Amino acid sequence: MKTFIRPSSMSENHVPYCPGCGHGIALRLIGEAIDELNLLETVIGIAPVGCAIRAWRLFKFDFTQAPHGRSPAVATGLKRTLPENTVFCYQGDGDSAAIGLGELMHAALRCENFTVFMNNNAVYGATGGQLAPTTLIDQPTVSYPSGRDPNVIGYPIKMTEIIASVSKKAYIARVALNSVRNIREAKKAVLKAFKTQQRRLGFSFVEMLSACPTGWNMKPLDALKWMEEKMIPEYPLGEYAVTEGLE
């Protein structure tokens, strides 16, 4: 019999997220992977402005926060000076695809040997559900209440595809946190990302599609259904690059 227990890398602090939010699932997967790879004593987490800023509360290892969008630059400074440690960034989609696009792109371009988990919930959650670069066409937000009109504010950004086009030594995947099956696949991607880093094979990036029922103005179950019907077709799941020597 297997007991479902809290990963030893995770604290007993209250999970500071809304009901139905995907952050708790994403962070738990990271915690499980850190346990399984025995990284507790070497891992350093970085989480910047946004809902992600509270991530440190859920873990027991060294953690630093970062200015909005700048985690990949902070991680560059950390990892280059501490190459033996495992360094990961946990960023939202506004953080990584809007204000921090430059820092993320250039870390990917340099194939920096750390891991970025991008939680994509298609809105700015912490500030109340404004449009993000990842917001779907016609999706209503508090800043564009009649829905995203591409003639006004452009099309959703495909970060995984973009990163895969510039990062030539990298593990790159997109996963979704909406069903048991997809969450199990997500866990595999998290493990592969950390292994890529451990083996010094290059950059690792996992985009995690994630629900924000509060920002979407939906009930949690409806949010999961919307992910399946609308979000995943727009953002196809799968591995977009696998580092040579990983498998």
Partner 1 sequence: MNEKVLMTGNEAAAEAAIRAGCRFCSAYPITPSSEFLEYMAHRLPQVEGIFIQSESEISAINMLFGASAAGKRAIVASSACGVALMQETISYLASTQLPGVIVNISRAGPGLGRITPTQADYWQMTKGGGNGDYQLVVLGPASVQEMAELTYLAFDLADKYRNPVAILADGMLGQMMEPVVLPKFRDLNSLPQKPWAVTGAKGRERNLVLVAPYTDEEMITLNEELDRKYRVLEAAEQRWEPTFLDDAELVIVAFGTAARIAGDVIERARNEGIKVGMIRPISLWPFPKDAFKNLEAHVRTYLVLEMSNGQIVDDVRLTRPGDTPVHHYGKGGGWKPTSKGVYEQILQLWRCIA
In angstroms, rounded to a whole number, what is the distance separating the alpha carbons of residues 146 and 138? 7
In angstroms, rounded to a whole number, what is the distance separating the alpha carbons of residues 90 and 15? 16
CA dihedral 213, 227, 106, 185 (to 10 degrees): 110
Query: Which of 42, 127, 198, 217 is close enough to bind partner 1 by CB under 8 A?
Result: 42
Query: Which of 6, 8, 38, 102 is close enough to bind partner 1 by CB under 8 A?
Result: 102
Query: Which of 10, 51, 58, 74 is close enough to bind partner 1 by CB under 8 A?
Result: 74
229 DSSP assignment: I
Under the binding rule (CB under 8 A), the answer on residue 77 touching partner 1 is yes
| Stretch touching partner 1 by CB under 8 A, among 38-46, 183-191, 218-226, 234-242 | 38-46
Under the binding rule (CB under 8 A), the answer on residue 30 touching partner 1 is no
Judged by CB, which is closer to partner 1: 18, or 232? 18
CA dihedral 175, 181, 185, 186 (to 10 degrees): 50
Minimum gap (Å) between residue 102 Cβ and partner 1 = 6
Query: Which of 103, 119, 169, 178 is close enough to bind partner 1 by CB under 8 A?
Result: 103
Classify 150 as helix, strand or coil.
helix
Judged by CB, which is closer to partner 1: 126, or 246? 126
Under the binding rule (CB under 8 A), the answer on residue 49 touching partner 1 is yes
Element spanning 79, H or E: helix 71-81
Classify 179 as helix, strand or coil.
coil
> Do residues 193 and 205 lie in contact, with contact meaning Cβ atoms separated by under 8 Å?
yes
If you write DSSP's letter for every residue of 5-29 in order, what string do you get?
A: ---TTB--S---S-TT-SHHHHHHH
Task: Output the six-digit token pair for 92.
Answer: 């939202």
Query: Which of 60, 188, 225, 230 is close enough to bind partner 1 by CB under 8 A?
Result: 60
For 56-202, list the strands marked E by DSSP: 62-66, 86-92, 115-120, 123-124, 130-131, 170-176
Query: Which of 82, 137, 153, 221 is close enough to bind partner 1 by CB under 8 A?
Result: 82
Under the binding rule (CB under 8 A), the answer on residue 57 touching partner 1 is yes
The CA-to-CA distance between both ends of the chain, in Å, stands at: 30
Under the binding rule (CB under 8 A), the answer on residue 63 touching partner 1 is yes
Judged by CB, which is closer to partner 1: 59, or 235? 59
Query: Which of 3, 81, 146, 151 is close enough to bind partner 1 by CB under 8 A?
Result: 81
Q: Count the residues of the shown chain that bind partner 1, applying the rule CB under 8 A.
A: 33
| Stretch touching partner 1 by CB under 8 A, among 79-87, 184-192, 207-215, 234-242 | 79-87
Residues of this chain that interact with partner 1 (CB under 8 A) are 40-44, 46, 49, 53, 56-57, 60-67, 70, 73-82, 85, 102-103, 106
